[in-house]
Amino acid sequence: MKMITFMMKYSLLFFLSIITVMAVQGQPPDPLENIVITAQKKKTRVRTTENGILQVNVSPKDALKFKAAGMVRYSDFGARGDGKTDDMDAIAATHAFAGQYGLRVKADEEATYYISGKARTAVIRTDTDFGTAAFIIDDTNVEDRNAPVFLVSSGLAPFELKGISSLRRDQAKIDVSLPGTCLITVTNADVRHYIRFGPNQDNGSAQTDIFVADKDGRVDMDAPIIWDFDRITGITALPIDEKTLTITGGRFTTIANQAESKYTYYSRNIAIRRSNVVVDGLEHRVTGEGDHGAPYGGFINIGDCAYVTVKNTVLTGHMTYRTIGSAGEPVSMGSYDISVNRALNVSFVNCSQTNDINDTRYWGILGSNYCKNLLYDHCVFSRFDAHKGVANATIRNSTLGHMGINAIGSGTLTVENTTVRGWSFINLRSDYGSTWQGTFIIRNCIFVPARPARVALIGGSYSGQHDFGYTCYMPERITIENLKIDDSNHPEDYQGPAIFTDFNPQMTGDTYVEQFPYVRTREVILRNVITASGKPLRVSDNPFMFRDVKVSKD
């Protein structure tokens, strides 16, 4: 076990405090373990020892000045900001000192900070204003591709919950007393979910859920428990910070890695692992992408937290590279500038991307897993995507590009006042069972299909022969109101748009048997659906499969 020693010495008082930081089981090591802060009567300086420890000395005079101002700058700890000198140690030292004394951090105006590939992470625990400063993140020679550049972290530590052996879907209360409102993560390693199908096939993941409970154990039913847990093999609680931490500004540029094109994701990013965070006015660009490279796991990487808002932010889609998947076939690798995992109530407001949202050379900008209550509002992005399920999602006042809306999950998926360009208006991901247990609401939208020959609003595929680890559903009810379908660019033999694509071309009669039956949609409500072609909206190219769907038209 490592130690952090903080020594502060003033003219009339000398004291020594030792803080021991223990990595919680399952959590990555705390980057602060490798930082030692002292207050000797020497000038403020930052240096690295041979074993990688960052030694930060802050003179008593400077310490008093910083505390009186309530803030520190990177230049206070030796950052040059000339775009050439590696400023990562100075940046990490600044945040370490600020976090210890609750001081704001402000970048120097118009500075350009060069960040090399050394394995150093700056831990953000206080409000940070990157302002108009530029940050060059050089990924061409990286010591640890998994080490974030910035880690937005809580000073509160997760802890294991005792005495809870099972949970039920929609359970309103857990029998536990908590120190305050907490984010609860629960797993059952004996049950496998999301057993992936296709060229990236795998054996699935342990049953997982994440929810918020107050000090009396009452569950926030806006993000309810979505699985039955007959057994629990792990359950932890992370106290939620009550104060909002705000990060503003910053112009970031990643010089892309030149690694081999395989699934060795790079996480040289801003990793948010604290609840109640606002990111406002950030920009991220990518340069140096060539004909090969490893994928990225999200420049803004949000995980194990709740109540995060990213607004007025500009991001960049990454080049798509190919590799050999787990089934031995060539596959395109997902590469993201936004990643959201095990997170609740995450919003993207007034955000966009630098490259063309319809340029198929670039992968979709978002990937997410195990999330609840995701929001796009006034966003222009190439894609919305939920891999291992989302419970409730809203997309409004937005424009989505060539990869459209891809999702599996539960609850309500609402899309309103939005233009979607893609193969379908909503694609239910076939690699995870094309499942949505809940409802779709589509209101006041425009659909511009990318495939004019066969236009379908709801896409997906389901053979009924693969066990995904759960029962697969189509949305029970779909409401479509005031939808314009721009199918004007259609071929001569075009039959008109369909509500559902042909999910299973082999299911054409009663002789076809699904080993794992699909629970299909019961009702579709149509109000004012207009096609540019003038052709009416059909149910599907597979009328047998959807023969029991009730379609109501106003």
Take residue 52 and report the two structure tokens written for it: 């990688």
CA R_g for the chain: 25
- Angstrom CA distances, 424 to 134, 427, 484, stand at 39, 6, 13
**Segment 123-137, tens digit of pLDDT:** 999 999 999 999 999
Q: What is the pLDDT of residue 30?
A: 79
Over residues 15-37, mean pLDDT: 52
DSSP code, position 81: -
Position 231 pLDDT exceeds 80:
yes
> In sequence order, which residues have a C-beta less than 8 Å from that of residue 543 and are 6 or more positions away?
none
Q: Using CA atoms, how far apart are residues 412 and 198, in angstroms rounded to an integer?
A: 27
Q: pTM here?
A: 0.93
Position 4 pLDDT exceeds 60:
no
Whole-number percent of the chain with pLDDT over 90: 89
Q: Using CA atoms, how far apart are residues 127 and 274, in angstroms rounded to an integer?
A: 12
Whole-number percent of the chain with pLDDT over 70: 95
Band of pLDDT at residue 40, cut at 50, 70 and 90: confident
Q: Using CA atoms, how far apart are residues 392 and 259, in angstroms rounded to an integer?
A: 37
**Segment 348-379, tens digit of pLDDT:** 999 999 999 999 999 999 999 999 999 999 99
Q: Which of these ranges, 3-7, 38-42, 272-276, 288-292, has the smallest mean pLDDT?
A: 3-7
Band of pLDDT at residue 41, cut at 50, 70 and 90: confident
